[in-house]
Amino acid sequence: AQKITQTQPGMFVQEKEAVTLDCTYDTSDPSYGLFWYKQPSSGEMIFLIYQGSYDQQNATEGRYSLNFQKARKSANLVISASQLGDSAMYFCAMSDYTGTASKLTFGTGTRLQVTL
Amino acid sequence: DTEVTQTPKHLVMGMTNKKSLKCEQHMGHRAMYWYKQKAKKPPELMFVYSYEKLSINESVPSRFSPECPNSSLLNLHLHALQPEDSALYLCASSPRLAGGSYEQYFGPGTRLTVT
């Protein structure tokens, strides 16, 4: 069974600073995908970034980068130059590759507060 | 257009009511999902449809009945719900079902309150 662990229930960061949100995972599958989603208070889950288990390079999308350390089974999200609009809940998720279906397993989330 | 729409945004229903949640996407995605999210918890998968056929039912009680009338539309029919079913119900779609790099696009959700 897959498991995602996010150990930081809440984080604070000052505007314009960088912040790292931690995510570790556990799976016996050699092939998997890791995702980060942002959920503002409005409720919508916004896709941020994806990392495949066979990808050699760390994924980047604008101000978001994923620090993928396969041996440590970690997939931390780095947000550079934080903005007030980054305040939200952030979920790390892993996809389960089965023959007939793809399921996302989510971590418990980290609430990020960006301050002035 | 990477939009998934859900209606209604809010729904209050009694335990004897019958209501439906609607989800629509026009991205040509062939996989659609229903999730339930309780406050301060991660989303939990309920159902997965692939090519309009039910692919996964995560042991959801029968008072929740999904329906996929066509490739763009996903409904969730609700009947005889309990107060503990109050939650945010999220719909998502993805370009294909099996395999990983295809992220799921989520709608804004329906906040359901059962009284």
> Do B46 and A104 meet the contact criterion of CB atoms below 8 Å apart?
no
Q: What's the confidence (pLDDT) of residue A98?
A: 60
pLDDT tens per residue, range A25-64: 999 888 888 999 999 998 899 999 999 888 889 999 999 9
Closest chain B residue to A94, measured at CA = B100
Interface A:B, Cβ pairs < 8 A: 69
| pLDDT above 90 for A112 | yes
| pLDDT above 90 for A4 | yes
Element (H, E) at B50: strand B44-50
A41 touches chain B (CB under 8 A): no
Q: Which residues contact A77 (CB under 8 A, 6 or more apart)?
A: A20, A21, A23, A36, A48, A49, A64, A65, A66, A67, A90, A92
What is the gyration radius of the CA atoms in chain B, in angstroms?
Answer: 13
| pLDDT above 60 for B15 | yes
Who has greater pLDDT, A33 or A23? A23
d(CA A81, CA A65): 12
Over range B14-34, report the average pLDDT.
93
**Preferred mutation among B23, B106, B112 to probe A, highest tally of A CBs within 10 A:** B106
d(CA A89, CA A83): 14
Q: Do A98 and B98 touch (CB under 8 A)?
A: yes
Q: What percent of chain A has pLDDT over 90?
A: 76
B95 touches chain A (CB under 8 A): no
| pLDDT above 70 for A101 | no
Q: What percent of chain B has pLDDT over 90?
A: 76
- In this structure, what token pair is assigned to residue A71? 């041996």
Q: What's the confidence (pLDDT) of residue A104?
A: 87
Distance from CA of A39 to the nearest CA of B (A): 10
Reported in sequence order, the residue ranges of A64-101 that DSSP labels E, i.e. its strands, are 64-69, 74-79, 88-97
pLDDT tens per residue, range B58-83: 999 999 999 999 989 999 999 999 99
pLDDT tens per residue, range B52-61: 999 889 999 9
Strand order of the sheet with strand B18-25?
B4-7, B18-25, B73-79, B64-70
Question: Which DSSP state fits B9?
Answer: S
Element (H, E) at A60: strand A60-61
> Do B74 and B66 meet the contact criterion of CB atoms below 8 Å apart?
yes
- Banded model confidence at residue A1, pLDDT cuts 50, 70, 90: confident
Q: What's the confidence (pLDDT) of residue B104?
A: 87
Who has greater pLDDT, B69 or B98? B69
Q: Do A100 and B111 touch (CB under 8 A)?
A: no
Range in A42-56, A88-102, B32-46, B75-89 the model is least confident about: A88-102
Closest chain B residue to A104, measured at CA = B45
Q: Do B94 and A102 touch (CB under 8 A)?
A: yes
SS3 content of chain A, % helix, strand, coil (to 5): 5, 55, 45
Q: What's the confidence (pLDDT) of residue B32?
A: 92
Average pLDDT, chain B: 91
| pLDDT above 60 for B1 | no
